[in-house]
């Protein structure tokens, strides 16, 4: 793959992620609060509160956009966590391990509209 096609692919990926953020309005997390049913989800909740809650309170828009109703595929969300996008910082594996990222994702899937 040439350097130009890599750059073009990166630009297209960026535009897809950016467009998915602009398509939907922020919506509050609907439904009742749930109690995590397993240790992975419970760990994901703890990690979400540490790493994500400041900018995405309850999955809603805060400093960052709402993530509770974002239709982007999981691989794009993981890419965004690892590489950042816009004002969102990147989180390297030393900060959020692959297992921790999986736990956060499992916690977020418990939300009604995620």
Query: 29: which DSSP letter?
Result: P
The proportion of the chain whose per-residue pLDDT surpasses 70, expressed as a percent, equals 60
E strands, 1-114, where?
Answer: none
Question: Residue 17: is its pLDDT beyond 90?
Answer: no
Average pLDDT on 57-71 reads: 69
Flag whether the pTM goes above 0.95. no
74 to 4, 6, 7, 32, 49: CA distances (angstroms) = 26, 21, 22, 24, 19
Question: Residue 56: is its pLDDT beyond 60?
Answer: yes
Listed residue (6, 23, 107, 9) closest to 72, CA to CA? 23
The pair phi, psi for residue 14, each rounded to 5°, is -60, -45
Lowest mean pLDDT, pick from 16-25, 59-68, 99-108: 16-25
Average pLDDT on 85-103 reads: 92
- Domains in the chain and their CATH numbers? 3-109 (1.10.760.10)
- Model pLDDT, residue 114: 47
**What would the pLDDT profile of 23-34 be if each residue is shown by its tens digit?**
445 555 555 555
**Cα torsion for 50, 78, 100, 90, to the nearest 10°?**
-50
């Amino acid at each position: 793959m040439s350097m130009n096609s890599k750059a073009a692919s990166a630009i297209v990926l960026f535009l897809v992620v950016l467009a998915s953020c602009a398509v939907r309005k922020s919506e509050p997390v609907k439904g009742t609060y749930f109690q995590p049913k397993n240790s992975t989800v419970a760990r994901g909740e703890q990690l979400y509160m540490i790493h994500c809650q400041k900018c995405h309170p309850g999955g809603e828009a805060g400093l960052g956009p709402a993530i509770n109703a974002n239709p982007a595929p999981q691989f794009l969300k993981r890419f965004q966590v690892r590489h950042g996008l816009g004002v969102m910082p990147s989180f390297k594996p030393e900060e959020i391990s692959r297992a921790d990222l999986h736990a956060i994702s499992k916690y977020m899937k418990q939300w009604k509209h995620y």
